Copies of this chain bind each other. A is one copy, B any other.
């Protein structure tokens, strides 16, 4: 009758299901009862693992941002690649879907989910900006580029790209999003004082 499971297993079960439902219905619209029904547990069990609905959202946001941060740090600590390549790869780890998870993340934004957007935006900018700054500083030392406001530029870059490419906030078509990406890259070239189209050409290469 009563099914007991390992703590982590059950917890992830709830997390996976909640994420799937948040993605399809949106956080606000999705009820806890729906999650319970889908997982096949009782109310009490849910609240044994999470103390509120919002805590589940936080956990989901963390799962994603942790992955992004980990990847970025791996790139950062790799001594074999030059700063330019590091910068490109770091941005790539945020956008390119090398697995299914990233597409799911896009879905989560679509459902008009303000809270999710704000939470992940904050988490990513706060954690990513310092990593990017280190790459910028590495490039300054190696005379690859120069930069007046490393931290602020990175914050601006991250905030703008995460906000403008979020389908839950702006419903821009693919062309418009590509134009914005091009503009962002050109800004990056300008603030780092590198030759025009240097990053853009590399970006196109990376996309192939």
Chain A: interface residue total (CB-CB under 8 A)? 33
Of B149, B151, B160, B168, which is within 8 A of A159 by CB? Answer: B160
Q: Which residues of B contact A187 (CB under 8 A)?
A: 153, 156, 187, 190-191
| Chain B proximity mask over A100-119: 1 for CB below 8 Å, otherwise 0 | 00000000000000110111
A163 to chain B, nearest CB (A): 5
- Least Cβ–Cβ distance between A61 and chain B, in angstroms: 12
Cβ-neighbour of A186 out of B122, B148, B169, B170 (below 8 A): B148
Can you list, as one digit per residue, whether each of A44-63 has a CB less than 8 Å from chain B (1) or not (0)?
A: 00000000000000000000
Q: Find chain B residues with CB under 8 A from A157 CB.
A: 160
Q: Is A179 an interface residue (CB 8 A)?
A: yes
Scoring A157, A163, A184 by chain B CB atoms within 10 A of each residue's CB, the highest score goes to A163
* Partner of A155 from B156, B159, B164, B191 at Cβ < 8 Å: B164
Known: A125-B170, A156-B160, A190-B191. 9 other contacts (CB 8 A): A114-B115, A114-B117, A114-B118, A121-B163, A152-B182, A155-B160, A155-B164, A155-B180, A156-B184
